[in-house]
Structure 1
């Protein structure tokens, strides 16, 4: 297909990753200041940049992908300077994937990793076509919102990682109910995004008509949406981009088609991205039952 011209330059200051604790009050404000302190973060980078990266590992389960085609111009405001999002005919892909970890912790812990908690997580992302300097991106996603149900993991990701600045939900549900999977993220007074969805198994692997102009088949769309080997995120205090390598060996043959339950998909951010109301509740969705997951490396560009 014909490549579209470069997206317009975005503002250099992006604030969608700024952390606000979901519960108002002095402790929440103090924690938010602590994990956002430029001096502390600079000191952490100076120390950890001289040490080998600690590979993180988990076995994730019940990975639900919700995918929409959204307005590329509206989405460009989430991209750091120099980053160009994948797009076709003025549209770009936006994905929310939500899953349950199983003992997320350092790979070096070996069998002791089973002692680590198993938080719920939701990643909100776009797909990258070009990195700063004009480099082709390959299989790279741009994280714009990451949410956890665990204060330890959310605050820890803020302090120890630049590539996965996470938000903390006031309430987070992601579970099976009969044959359906219900997901609910309630931000409270915090910076986590809001989401409510219910999905259930679909009878066929059918590619929505809106996606047919971008992909040849259901299988090719799933492959594009699933198979990535790195992720980037804007680092607000440093004015730079963090880049992390990930290993997510998804077996495409195991991916299962889903359909959204009518009236049970609500995501306010879609309105900002120009999605018509009738399409908000009809994402292209599917399930990855289980997959091993590792974070391999991280660096600032």
Structure 2
């Protein structure tokens, strides 16, 4: 019995030491950033905060999860609120990782659009479940009030009401000739991009939204966000609502830098 216990202890120490060494080695190449994928993540509070913080910020766990094959997901998303800013392109260009290029808009190409949005998922789950996906939970209605507490989540508070028709003027004028051009540019998203310079690759997560532009409802009202303000400066927000959309994550692909 003692031999078994000593063997288990030795194995535990060996695995723990290897994991510790791998974690510190990976942190030299996957360094912490102020924004984006490798910005520090801190849980707001609670007894589970410490282990969750460790797991979320572990470079080793992320490296292992990169090996897991991607699975197509579907969600019946509702109440999507887009909060948009047209920002001085030179202000946010330093946030773009090497390997990607900032898309500039406006007559002089000196503007860039920054958007954050809030929504709630409905029966988010693997597409292969088919109709059985309906058995998965749906989150309740989400108001646009994001309170990070002591965590690192972004803050936002907005009090918005719908407009009866698309507005004739607004902050979007800095980049678009008319209002219809704005959602036509903003809404047709078909991928999320991230760069892994340690692998010399760009990861593309291909998604499908298929949002009809005539379903976009313009909103008006104040938006307050300290985190967004630090990025956008004095840019004025403009908002719209997409009441319902079927979100599909289809596949993940990688290309060389």
The TM-score, its normalising length taken from structure 2, stands at: 0.75
CA distance in structure 1 between the partners assigned to 2:58 and 2:199 by the alignment: 11
Q: Larger strand proportion, structure 1 or 2?
A: 1
Structure 1 segment 1-301 matched on structure 2, within 5 A: 14-16=33-35, 17=37, 18-23=40-45, 27-46=48-67, 48=68, 51=69, 53-88=70-105, 89=108, 90-119=110-139, 174-175=142-143, 183-234=144-195, 241-260=202-221, 264-276=222-234, 280=236, 283-301=237-255
Q: Unmatched 5+ residue regions in structure 1?
A: 1-11, 121-172, 176-182
CA distance in structure 1 between the partners assigned to 2:207 and 2:133 by the alignment: 19
The TM-score, its normalising length taken from structure 1, stands at: 0.65
Cα gap change, 1:200/1:60 in structure 2, threshold over 3 Å: closer, same or farther? same
Q: Unmatched 5+ residue regions in structure 2?
A: 1-30
CA distance in structure 2 between the partners assigned to 1:300 and 1:191 by the alignment: 29
CA distance in structure 2 between the partners assigned to 1:201 and 1:248 by the alignment: 22
CA distance in structure 1 between the partners assigned to 2:232 and 2:117 by the alignment: 20
- Larger radius of gyration between Structure 1 and Structure 2: 2
Cα gap change, 1:208/1:77 in structure 2, threshold over 3 Å: closer, same or farther? farther
Q: How many residues align?
A: 219
Cα gap change, 1:286/1:31 in structure 2, threshold over 3 Å: closer, same or farther? same
CA distance in structure 2 between the partners assigned to 1:251 and 1:186 by the alignment: 31
* More divergent stretch after superposition (211-220 vs 227-236): 227-236
